[in-house]
A = this chain, B = another copy of it.
Amino acid sequence: MIRFAPLPAGLPATVPFIGPETLERRRGAPFAARLGANESAFGPSPLAARAMREAVGQVWKYGDAPSHDLTQALAAHHRIAPANLMIGEGIDGLLGNLVRLMVAPGDAVVTSDGAYPTFNYHVAGFGGVLHKVPYRDDAEDPQALLDRAHQVGARLVYLANPDNPMGSWHEGGVITDMLDRLPDDCLLVLDEAYAEFAPADAVPRIAADDPRVIRMRTFSKAYGLAGARIGYAIGAPELIAGFDRIRNHFGVNRIAQAGALAALADQGWLAHVVAEVAAARDRISHIGALNGLTALPSATNFVALNTHRDGKYARALIGALEAEGVFARMPGVAPLDRCIRISCGPVTELDVLEDALPRALDRLSPA
Protein backbone atom coordinates (compact mmCIF):
# COMPACT_ATOMS: atom_id res chain seq x y z
CA MET A 1 0.00 0.00 0.00
CA ILE A 2 1.31 3.43 -0.99
CA ARG A 3 0.50 6.20 1.45
CA PHE A 4 0.26 9.52 -0.42
CA ALA A 5 0.42 12.84 1.39
CA PRO A 6 -3.04 13.81 2.66
CA LEU A 7 -3.78 16.38 -0.04
CA PRO A 8 -3.08 14.18 -3.09
CA ALA A 9 -4.52 11.19 -1.23
CA GLY A 10 -7.87 12.97 -1.41
CA LEU A 11 -7.67 13.76 -5.11
CA PRO A 12 -9.45 11.74 -7.77
CA ALA A 13 -7.36 10.17 -10.52
CA THR A 14 -9.38 11.85 -13.24
CA VAL A 15 -7.75 13.61 -16.16
CA PRO A 16 -8.93 17.00 -17.42
CA PHE A 17 -9.08 15.94 -21.07
CA ILE A 18 -8.94 12.78 -23.14
CA GLY A 19 -6.60 13.49 -26.02
CA PRO A 20 -7.30 12.63 -29.65
CA GLU A 21 -4.56 9.98 -29.82
CA THR A 22 -6.24 8.14 -26.95
CA LEU A 23 -9.54 8.26 -28.84
CA GLU A 24 -7.84 7.06 -32.01
CA ARG A 25 -6.39 4.08 -30.19
CA ARG A 26 -9.84 3.25 -28.80
CA ARG A 27 -11.54 3.45 -32.18
CA GLY A 28 -8.64 1.73 -33.93
CA ALA A 29 -8.33 4.33 -36.68
CA PRO A 30 -6.99 7.86 -37.05
CA PHE A 31 -9.33 10.82 -37.32
CA ALA A 32 -9.85 12.28 -40.78
CA ALA A 33 -10.38 15.73 -39.23
CA ARG A 34 -8.73 16.80 -35.96
CA LEU A 35 -10.98 19.66 -34.90
CA GLY A 36 -11.37 19.14 -31.15
CA ALA A 37 -8.43 20.65 -29.27
CA ASN A 38 -8.31 24.16 -30.72
CA GLU A 39 -4.92 23.41 -32.18
CA SER A 40 -3.79 25.22 -35.30
CA ALA A 41 -3.59 22.85 -38.22
CA PHE A 42 -2.41 25.88 -40.21
CA GLY A 43 0.86 25.14 -38.44
CA PRO A 44 3.55 27.42 -37.13
CA SER A 45 5.46 29.92 -39.23
CA PRO A 46 7.74 28.13 -41.71
CA LEU A 47 10.53 30.18 -40.14
CA ALA A 48 9.65 28.75 -36.75
CA ALA A 49 9.59 25.24 -38.17
CA ARG A 50 13.02 25.83 -39.68
CA ALA A 51 14.36 27.22 -36.41
CA MET A 52 13.09 24.14 -34.60
CA ARG A 53 14.65 21.73 -37.09
CA GLU A 54 17.92 23.61 -36.70
CA ALA A 55 17.62 23.55 -32.90
CA VAL A 56 17.53 19.75 -33.00
CA GLY A 57 21.28 19.92 -33.49
CA GLN A 58 21.58 21.57 -30.06
CA VAL A 59 19.07 19.41 -28.21
CA TRP A 60 21.79 17.72 -26.20
CA LYS A 61 22.03 21.01 -24.28
CA TYR A 62 19.55 21.91 -21.57
CA GLY A 63 17.40 24.88 -22.46
CA ASP A 64 18.31 28.31 -21.15
CA ALA A 65 16.68 28.41 -17.70
CA PRO A 66 15.53 32.07 -17.83
CA SER A 67 14.56 31.79 -21.54
CA HIS A 68 16.53 35.00 -21.90
CA ASP A 69 16.30 35.59 -25.64
CA LEU A 70 12.59 34.86 -25.83
CA THR A 71 11.92 37.01 -22.77
CA GLN A 72 13.77 39.92 -24.35
CA ALA A 73 11.89 39.51 -27.61
CA LEU A 74 8.52 39.32 -25.86
CA ALA A 75 9.36 42.37 -23.79
CA ALA A 76 10.09 44.31 -26.97
CA HIS A 77 6.98 42.93 -28.67
CA HIS A 78 4.68 43.95 -25.81
CA ARG A 79 6.68 47.05 -24.85
CA ILE A 80 7.07 45.87 -21.28
CA ALA A 81 10.04 44.97 -19.13
CA PRO A 82 11.60 41.49 -19.03
CA ALA A 83 10.77 41.49 -15.30
CA ASN A 84 7.08 41.46 -16.29
CA LEU A 85 7.48 38.13 -18.09
CA MET A 86 7.71 34.50 -17.10
CA ILE A 87 8.09 31.81 -19.76
CA GLY A 88 6.64 28.43 -18.87
CA GLU A 89 5.54 25.05 -20.18
CA GLY A 90 2.36 26.38 -21.76
CA ILE A 91 -0.48 28.06 -19.93
CA ASP A 92 -1.29 24.74 -18.25
CA GLY A 93 2.11 24.70 -16.59
CA LEU A 94 1.97 28.38 -15.70
CA LEU A 95 -1.52 28.03 -14.18
CA GLY A 96 -0.29 25.16 -12.01
CA ASN A 97 2.59 27.22 -10.69
CA LEU A 98 0.38 30.27 -10.19
CA VAL A 99 -2.15 28.31 -8.13
CA ARG A 100 0.68 26.81 -6.09
CA LEU A 101 2.08 30.28 -5.44
CA MET A 102 -1.21 31.87 -4.42
CA VAL A 103 -3.59 29.24 -3.05
CA ALA A 104 -3.20 27.49 0.30
CA PRO A 105 -5.42 24.52 1.17
CA GLY A 106 -8.90 25.82 1.94
CA ASP A 107 -8.47 29.10 0.08
CA ALA A 108 -11.34 30.20 -2.11
CA VAL A 109 -11.03 30.51 -5.89
CA VAL A 110 -13.74 31.68 -8.27
CA THR A 111 -14.34 30.66 -11.85
CA SER A 112 -17.24 30.11 -14.24
CA ASP A 113 -19.12 26.82 -14.38
CA GLY A 114 -17.99 25.32 -17.66
CA ALA A 115 -14.75 27.32 -18.03
CA TYR A 116 -11.29 25.79 -18.44
CA PRO A 117 -11.17 22.44 -16.60
CA THR A 118 -7.39 22.39 -16.28
CA PHE A 119 -7.50 25.48 -14.09
CA ASN A 120 -10.01 23.72 -11.84
CA TYR A 121 -7.75 20.66 -11.80
CA HIS A 122 -4.84 22.73 -10.51
CA VAL A 123 -7.00 24.45 -7.87
CA ALA A 124 -8.19 21.09 -6.56
CA GLY A 125 -4.65 19.78 -6.80
CA PHE A 126 -3.39 22.39 -4.35
CA GLY A 127 -6.36 22.11 -2.03
CA GLY A 128 -8.17 25.26 -3.10
CA VAL A 129 -11.94 25.46 -2.79
CA LEU A 130 -13.52 26.22 -6.13
CA HIS A 131 -16.62 28.39 -6.37
CA LYS A 132 -18.37 28.49 -9.74
CA VAL A 133 -20.79 31.04 -11.10
CA PRO A 134 -22.93 30.44 -14.18
CA TYR A 135 -22.27 31.84 -17.62
CA ARG A 136 -24.66 34.56 -18.66
CA ASP A 137 -25.79 34.60 -22.30
CA ASP A 138 -23.01 32.15 -23.19
CA ALA A 139 -20.34 34.48 -21.83
CA GLU A 140 -18.43 34.53 -18.58
CA ASP A 141 -20.18 36.96 -16.25
CA PRO A 142 -17.82 39.55 -14.73
CA GLN A 143 -20.38 40.87 -12.25
CA ALA A 144 -21.23 37.41 -10.96
CA LEU A 145 -17.54 36.54 -10.70
CA LEU A 146 -16.88 39.73 -8.71
CA ASP A 147 -19.87 39.23 -6.46
CA ARG A 148 -18.84 35.70 -5.65
CA ALA A 149 -15.21 36.73 -5.13
CA HIS A 150 -16.28 39.28 -2.53
CA GLN A 151 -18.66 36.84 -0.93
CA VAL A 152 -16.11 34.03 -0.47
CA GLY A 153 -12.95 36.10 -0.05
CA ALA A 154 -11.37 34.66 -3.18
CA ARG A 155 -7.62 34.60 -3.69
CA LEU A 156 -7.98 34.13 -7.45
CA VAL A 157 -10.68 34.87 -9.99
CA TYR A 158 -10.29 33.14 -13.34
CA LEU A 159 -11.57 34.73 -16.53
CA ALA A 160 -10.72 33.69 -20.05
CA ASN A 161 -11.12 36.45 -22.60
CA PRO A 162 -11.96 35.42 -25.25
CA ASP A 163 -13.72 32.53 -23.59
CA ASN A 164 -13.24 28.84 -24.15
CA PRO A 165 -15.50 26.84 -24.83
CA MET A 166 -18.07 29.36 -26.10
CA GLY A 167 -15.86 31.75 -28.08
CA SER A 168 -17.50 34.81 -26.55
CA TRP A 169 -15.56 37.87 -25.42
CA HIS A 170 -15.75 41.08 -23.45
CA GLU A 171 -14.42 44.45 -24.42
CA GLY A 172 -11.24 45.50 -22.70
CA GLY A 173 -13.04 48.11 -20.64
CA VAL A 174 -15.07 45.39 -18.96
CA ILE A 175 -11.86 43.74 -17.79
CA THR A 176 -10.24 46.91 -16.50
CA ASP A 177 -13.48 47.72 -14.74
CA MET A 178 -13.30 44.31 -13.04
CA LEU A 179 -9.83 45.12 -11.75
CA ASP A 180 -11.15 48.24 -10.07
CA ARG A 181 -13.79 46.22 -8.27
CA LEU A 182 -11.77 43.17 -7.27
CA PRO A 183 -11.59 42.37 -3.57
CA ASP A 184 -8.35 43.35 -1.86
CA ASP A 185 -5.82 40.57 -1.97
CA CYS A 186 -7.52 38.88 -4.91
CA LEU A 187 -5.74 38.36 -8.21
CA LEU A 188 -7.48 38.24 -11.58
CA VAL A 189 -6.16 35.37 -13.70
CA LEU A 190 -6.79 36.61 -17.21
CA ASP A 191 -6.37 33.73 -19.63
CA GLU A 192 -5.72 35.25 -23.04
CA ALA A 193 -4.86 32.06 -24.89
CA TYR A 194 -7.02 33.20 -27.82
CA ALA A 195 -6.16 36.91 -27.73
CA GLU A 196 -4.45 36.93 -31.13
CA PHE A 197 -7.76 35.98 -32.79
CA ALA A 198 -9.83 38.60 -30.97
CA PRO A 199 -10.83 42.10 -32.05
CA ALA A 200 -8.28 44.65 -30.85
CA ASP A 201 -10.75 46.18 -28.41
CA ALA A 202 -11.15 42.84 -26.61
CA VAL A 203 -7.57 43.10 -25.34
CA PRO A 204 -7.60 45.39 -22.32
CA ARG A 205 -5.00 48.06 -21.75
CA ILE A 206 -3.48 47.18 -18.42
CA ALA A 207 -0.12 48.35 -17.10
CA ALA A 208 2.21 45.37 -16.96
CA ASP A 209 3.13 46.29 -13.39
CA ASP A 210 -0.49 46.18 -12.22
CA PRO A 211 -0.42 43.82 -9.22
CA ARG A 212 -4.12 42.97 -9.50
CA VAL A 213 -3.86 40.77 -12.57
CA ILE A 214 -1.74 38.15 -14.26
CA ARG A 215 -2.23 37.58 -17.98
CA MET A 216 -1.55 34.23 -19.62
CA ARG A 217 -0.51 33.95 -23.26
CA THR A 218 0.54 30.96 -25.31
CA PHE A 219 2.31 29.83 -28.46
CA SER A 220 -0.07 26.86 -28.63
CA LYS A 221 -2.93 28.51 -30.48
CA ALA A 222 -2.37 31.22 -33.11
CA TYR A 223 1.37 30.50 -33.25
CA GLY A 224 0.72 26.81 -33.94
CA LEU A 225 3.11 25.32 -31.38
CA ALA A 226 0.82 23.34 -29.06
CA GLY A 227 3.14 20.34 -29.04
CA ALA A 228 6.11 22.49 -28.07
CA ARG A 229 4.64 23.41 -24.69
CA ILE A 230 5.57 27.04 -24.33
CA GLY A 231 3.62 30.05 -23.12
CA TYR A 232 4.12 33.08 -20.91
CA ALA A 233 2.67 35.10 -18.09
CA ILE A 234 2.64 38.89 -17.88
CA GLY A 235 2.44 40.43 -14.43
CA ALA A 236 3.93 42.64 -11.78
CA PRO A 237 7.65 41.95 -11.24
CA GLU A 238 7.13 40.85 -7.65
CA LEU A 239 4.54 38.29 -8.74
CA ILE A 240 6.60 37.12 -11.71
CA ALA A 241 9.67 36.70 -9.49
CA GLY A 242 7.63 34.41 -7.27
CA PHE A 243 7.64 31.73 -9.98
CA ASP A 244 11.38 31.33 -9.50
CA ARG A 245 10.68 29.99 -6.00
CA ILE A 246 8.85 26.94 -7.29
CA ARG A 247 9.14 26.43 -11.02
CA ASN A 248 11.11 23.70 -12.74
CA HIS A 249 13.90 26.04 -13.82
CA PHE A 250 15.17 23.93 -16.70
CA GLY A 251 11.69 22.75 -17.65
CA VAL A 252 11.21 24.55 -20.96
CA ASN A 253 12.23 22.57 -24.04
CA ARG A 254 15.15 24.08 -25.96
CA ILE A 255 13.56 23.47 -29.34
CA ALA A 256 10.39 25.18 -28.11
CA GLN A 257 12.40 28.23 -27.08
CA ALA A 258 13.90 28.48 -30.57
CA GLY A 259 10.53 27.92 -32.23
CA ALA A 260 8.71 30.49 -30.14
CA LEU A 261 11.40 33.09 -30.78
CA ALA A 262 11.16 32.61 -34.53
CA ALA A 263 7.36 32.43 -34.44
CA LEU A 264 7.14 35.73 -32.60
CA ALA A 265 9.38 37.36 -35.18
CA ASP A 266 7.09 36.29 -38.03
CA GLN A 267 4.03 38.46 -37.41
CA GLY A 268 3.19 38.15 -41.09
CA TRP A 269 2.51 34.44 -40.62
CA LEU A 270 0.44 35.22 -37.55
CA ALA A 271 -1.69 37.61 -39.63
CA HIS A 272 -2.06 34.90 -42.28
CA VAL A 273 -3.23 32.38 -39.66
CA VAL A 274 -5.67 34.87 -38.14
CA ALA A 275 -7.16 35.47 -41.60
CA GLU A 276 -7.38 31.73 -42.31
CA VAL A 277 -9.06 31.23 -38.95
CA ALA A 278 -11.61 33.96 -39.69
CA ALA A 279 -12.43 32.27 -42.99
CA ALA A 280 -12.68 28.89 -41.28
CA ARG A 281 -15.06 30.32 -38.68
CA ASP A 282 -17.33 31.50 -41.48
CA ARG A 283 -17.14 28.12 -43.17
CA ILE A 284 -17.94 26.27 -39.92
CA SER A 285 -20.90 28.59 -39.37
CA HIS A 286 -22.07 27.87 -42.88
CA ILE A 287 -21.67 24.11 -42.45
CA GLY A 288 -23.61 24.35 -39.20
CA ALA A 289 -26.40 26.36 -40.83
CA LEU A 290 -26.70 23.80 -43.64
CA ASN A 291 -27.45 21.26 -40.92
CA GLY A 292 -29.71 23.27 -38.64
CA LEU A 293 -26.99 24.18 -36.15
CA THR A 294 -26.47 27.84 -35.27
CA ALA A 295 -22.99 29.29 -34.82
CA LEU A 296 -22.31 31.47 -31.81
CA PRO A 297 -20.17 34.54 -32.45
CA SER A 298 -16.53 33.67 -31.82
CA ALA A 299 -13.34 35.66 -31.22
CA THR A 300 -11.26 32.46 -31.12
CA ASN A 301 -10.05 29.68 -33.42
CA PHE A 302 -13.16 27.61 -32.82
CA VAL A 303 -16.92 27.92 -33.19
CA ALA A 304 -19.60 26.73 -30.79
CA LEU A 305 -22.52 25.35 -32.77
CA ASN A 306 -25.88 25.38 -31.03
CA THR A 307 -27.70 22.08 -31.59
CA HIS A 308 -30.95 23.58 -30.20
CA ARG A 309 -31.21 20.38 -28.19
CA ASP A 310 -29.77 19.32 -24.82
CA GLY A 311 -26.42 18.06 -23.58
CA LYS A 312 -27.38 14.45 -24.06
CA TYR A 313 -28.07 15.10 -27.72
CA ALA A 314 -24.88 17.12 -28.22
CA ARG A 315 -22.84 14.41 -26.51
CA ALA A 316 -24.32 11.81 -28.83
CA LEU A 317 -23.48 14.05 -31.77
CA ILE A 318 -19.83 14.26 -30.66
CA GLY A 319 -19.83 10.45 -30.54
CA ALA A 320 -21.41 10.24 -33.96
CA LEU A 321 -18.87 12.68 -35.39
CA GLU A 322 -16.12 10.56 -33.86
CA ALA A 323 -17.58 7.51 -35.61
CA GLU A 324 -17.47 9.52 -38.83
CA GLY A 325 -13.79 10.32 -38.31
CA VAL A 326 -14.14 13.83 -36.89
CA PHE A 327 -12.58 14.73 -33.55
CA ALA A 328 -14.57 17.51 -31.86
CA ARG A 329 -15.35 18.45 -28.29
CA MET A 330 -18.15 20.19 -26.40
CA PRO A 331 -18.77 22.20 -23.24
CA GLY A 332 -19.07 20.15 -20.08
CA VAL A 333 -22.07 21.71 -18.33
CA ALA A 334 -25.60 22.90 -19.03
CA PRO A 335 -26.76 25.07 -20.67
CA LEU A 336 -23.48 25.44 -22.59
CA ASP A 337 -23.56 21.76 -23.45
CA ARG A 338 -26.35 22.22 -25.97
CA CYS A 339 -23.44 23.23 -28.24
CA ILE A 340 -20.64 21.32 -29.89
CA ARG A 341 -17.28 23.00 -30.37
CA ILE A 342 -15.46 22.83 -33.70
CA SER A 343 -11.90 24.04 -34.04
CA CYS A 344 -10.87 25.98 -37.12
CA GLY A 345 -8.81 24.01 -39.59
CA PRO A 346 -7.70 24.02 -43.20
CA VAL A 347 -10.17 23.62 -46.04
CA THR A 348 -9.47 19.90 -46.41
CA GLU A 349 -10.43 19.22 -42.80
CA LEU A 350 -13.57 21.35 -43.08
CA ASP A 351 -14.49 19.45 -46.23
CA VAL A 352 -14.40 16.32 -44.10
CA LEU A 353 -16.60 18.05 -41.53
CA GLU A 354 -19.08 19.17 -44.17
CA ASP A 355 -19.29 15.63 -45.44
CA ALA A 356 -19.48 14.01 -42.01
CA LEU A 357 -21.86 16.28 -40.12
CA PRO A 358 -25.08 15.35 -41.97
CA ARG A 359 -24.20 11.67 -41.69
CA ALA A 360 -23.50 12.10 -37.97
CA LEU A 361 -26.83 13.82 -37.50
CA ASP A 362 -28.53 11.02 -39.41
CA ARG A 363 -27.03 8.53 -36.98
CA LEU A 364 -28.93 10.30 -34.21
CA SER A 365 -32.26 10.43 -36.06
CA PRO A 366 -32.64 7.18 -37.97
CA ALA A 367 -35.19 7.43 -40.73
The stretch among A237-245, A302-310, A357-365 that forms the contact with chain B is: A237-245
Tell me which residues across on chain B come within 8 A of A92, comparing CB atoms.
248-251
- The verdict on A58 contacting chain B, using a C-beta distance below 8 Å, is yes
- The verdict on A225 contacting chain B, using a C-beta distance below 8 Å, is yes
Sampled A-B contacts (11; CB under 8 Å):
A2-B211, A4-B102, A5-B155, A22-B65, A39-B60, A43-B59, A60-B227, A61-B226, A63-B229, A227-B253, A253-B253
> A59 and B228: CB pair below 8 A?
yes
Can you list, as one digit per residue, whether each of A33-60 has a CB less than 8 Å from chain B (1) or not (0)?
0100101111110000100110111111
Chain B nearest CB from A192 CB (Å) reads 19
Chain B nearest CB from A207 CB (Å) reads 15
Beyond the given A13-B241, A44-B60, please list 15 additional residue pairs across the A-B interface where CB-CB is below 8 A: A1-B238, A2-B187, A2-B238, A2-B239, A8-B100, A12-B245, A15-B249, A19-B62, A39-B61, A56-B255, A59-B227, A89-B248, A92-B249, A229-B251, A253-B255
Tell me which residues across on chain B come within 8 A of A25, comparing CB atoms.
68
- The verdict on A83 contacting chain B, using a C-beta distance below 8 Å, is no
The 10 closest A-B pairs by CB, nearest first: A227-B254, A21-B64, A5-B104, A11-B245, A59-B227, A60-B224, A19-B65, A253-B253, A62-B226, A53-B53
Chain B nearest CB from A161 CB (Å) reads 22
- The verdict on A107 contacting chain B, using a C-beta distance below 8 Å, is yes
Report the Cα distance A44→B238, complex, angstroms: 39
Q: In the complex, what residue of chain B is closest to A238 when comparing beta carbons? A: B2
Report the Cα distance A102→B8, complex, angstroms: 8
> A251 and B17: CB pair below 8 A?
no
Q: In the complex, what residue of chain B is closest to A255 when comparing beta carbons? A: B255
Q: Given A63-B229, A245-B13, A253–B251 Cβ distance below 8 Å?
A: no
> B93 and A245: CB pair below 8 A?
no
Tell me which residues across on chain B come within 8 A of A21, comparing CB atoms.
64-65, 68
Chain B nearest CB from A31 CB (Å) reads 11
Chain B nearest CB from A87 CB (Å) reads 13
Pick from B11, B39, B225: contact of A246, CB below 8 A.
Answer: B11
Tell me which residues across on chain B come within 8 A of A61, comparing CB atoms.
20, 34, 37, 39, 226-227
Q: In the complex, what residue of chain B is closest to A225 when comparing beta carbons? A: B59
> B226 and A252: CB pair below 8 A?
no
Q: In the complex, what residue of chain B is closest to A52 when comparing beta carbons? A: B56
- The verdict on A79 contacting chain B, using a C-beta distance below 8 Å, is no
- The verdict on A259 contacting chain B, using a C-beta distance below 8 Å, is yes
Q: In the complex, what residue of chain B is closest to A21 when comparing beta carbons? A: B64
Report the Cα distance A334→B129, complex, angstroms: 45
Chain B nearest CB from A106 CB (Å) reads 10
Q: In the complex, what residue of chain B is closest to A67 when comparing beta carbons? A: B21
Q: In the complex, what residue of chain B is closest to A239 when comparing beta carbons? A: B2
Chain B nearest CB from A311 CB (Å) reads 24
Report the Cα distance A66→B42, complex, angstroms: 25
Report the Cα distance A15→B250, complex, angstroms: 10
Report the Cα distance A55→B256, complex, angstroms: 12
Pick from B7, B227, B244: contact of A104, CB below 8 A.
Answer: B7
Can you list, as one digit per residue, whether each of A151-166 has a CB less than 8 Å from chain B (1) or not (0)?
0000100000000000
